[in-house]
């Protein structure tokens, strides 16, 4: 199977290749070039249309995320391109600049406190603004705000659950659930529904563990 080899810095950054056709997402894995340089590679599924658009996303805590778009080509014994090692290449054609974050005056850092109950943080978010949990947008915004606060105040392993294509989603993530990758004394690792009866009358905040954490779907922050 051909693969696309890249060299992120830092090496352990989360790297994703998203193909425009069918919402295919491939997660990068650690790999080494034949000359010894370490990087990450994406296995390319045979059968993808040649020369169609694809995007590489690279993110790491404390770093500005990078998105690079181009056209994806790979060695299928038909396309005549001098492929690099691995047999795939991304010809870049779009260069998208990231917005400069708006500075906040005199920010007051809030230390992480793993002893705080996650549900208390969720209810604090709920009472800090008006959220219409009967709508997808209201649930999605509430889920984003809760994920941010839990990530900042409880554990940096709180993150979103990636959703693609026709899956029920808001801004690329689950509309009513988030996940934590590491167990703490007051919260087991796993996926948690944080809205009861989401997108329906009577919807309200909750905190119910529904499944094991899925690191391959984890991302933070929301795009």
- Evaluate whether residue 112 is within a structural domain: no
pLDDT at 138: 96
Same domain, 74 and 148: no
> Which residue range forms the structural domain that includes residue 199?
118-219
Same domain, 90 and 123: no
Name the pLDDT band for 154 (thresholds 50, 70, 90).
very high
Contacts of 158 (CB under 8 A, 6+ apart): 147, 150, 151, 178, 179, 180, 220
| Angle ∠(179,124,120) on CA atoms, nearest 5 | 60
Contacts of 63 (CB under 8 A, 6+ apart): 10, 13
User: For 22-41, what is the mean pLDDT?
Assistant: 86
Same domain, 126 and 63: no
- Evaluate whether residue 106 is within a structural domain: no
- Evaluate whether residue 177 is within a structural domain: yes
pLDDT at 2: 86
pLDDT at 161: 96
Residue where one domain finishes, among candidates 52, 78, 94: 94
User: For 184-198, what is the mean pLDDT?
Assistant: 94
User: For 47-76, what is the mean pLDDT?
Assistant: 84
Helix (H/G/I), strand (E/B), else coil: 111 = coil
The domain tally of the chain equals: 2
Same domain, 205 and 125: yes
Cα dihedral 194→196→198→200 (10° resolution): -160
Rounded Cα distance, 213 and 163, in Å? 14
Same domain, 77 and 147: no
User: For 141-166, what is the mean pLDDT?
Assistant: 93
Average pLDDT value over all residues in the chain: 86
pLDDT at 123: 96
For the four alpha carbons of 37, 38, 43 and 44, in that order, the dihedral sign comes to: negative
- Evaluate whether residue 104 is within a structural domain: no
Same domain, 46 and 130: no
DSSP 134-151: TSHHHHHHHHHHHHHHHH
User: For 170-195, what is the mean pLDDT?
Assistant: 94
Residue where one domain finishes, among candidates 61, 94, 127: 94
Instruction: Give the whole-number percent of the chain exceeding pLDDT 90.
Output: 45
- Evaluate whether residue 109 is within a structural domain: no
Q: What is the pTM of this model?
A: 0.52
Same domain, 24 and 76: yes
Rg (CA), the chain: 20
Q: Which of 84-93, 107-116, 137-146 has the lowest mean pLDDT?
A: 107-116
Same domain, 140 and 59: no
pLDDT at 139 over 80: yes
- Evaluate whether residue 107 is within a structural domain: no
- Evaluate whether residue 140 is within a structural domain: yes
Same domain, 123 and 215: yes
User: For 64-78, what is the mean pLDDT?
Assistant: 83
Selected residue with higher pLDDT from 11 and 106: 11
DSSP 78: S
pLDDT at 201: 93
pLDDT at 108 over 50: no
Residue where one domain finishes, among candidates 94, 110, 130: 94
pLDDT at 96 over 80: no
Same domain, 30 and 85: yes
Same domain, 7 and 62: yes
- Evaluate whether residue 72 is within a structural domain: yes
Same domain, 72 and 131: no
């Amino acid at each position: 199977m051909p693969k696309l080899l890249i060299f992120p810095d830092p090496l352990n950054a989360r790297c994703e290749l998203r193909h425009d056709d069918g919402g295919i997402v491939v997660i990068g894995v650690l790999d080494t070039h034949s000359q010894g340089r370490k990087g990450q590679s994406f296995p390319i599924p045979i059968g993808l249309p040649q020369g169609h658009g694809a995007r590489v996303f690279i993110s790491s805590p404390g770093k500005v995320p990078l998105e690079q778009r181009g056209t994806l080509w790979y060695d299928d014994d038909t396309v005549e391109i001098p492929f690099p090692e691995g047999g795939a290449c991304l010809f870049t054609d779009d260069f998208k600049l990231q917005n400069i974050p708006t500075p906040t005056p005199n920010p007051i850092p809030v230390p992480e406190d793993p002893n705080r109950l996650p549900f208390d943080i969720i209810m604090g978010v709920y009472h800090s603004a008006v959220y219409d949990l009967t709508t997808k947008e209201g649930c999605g915004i509430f889920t984003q705000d809760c994920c941010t606060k839990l990530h900042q105040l409880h554990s940096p392993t709180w993150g979103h659950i990636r959703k693609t294509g026709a899956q029920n989603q808001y801004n690329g993530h689950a509309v009513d659930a988030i996940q934590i990758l590491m167990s703490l004394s007051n919260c087991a690792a796993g996926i948690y529904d944080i809205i009861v009866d989401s997108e329906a009358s009577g919807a309200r905040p909750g905190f119910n563990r529904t499944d094991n954490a899925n690191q391959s779907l984890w991302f933070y922050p929301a795009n």
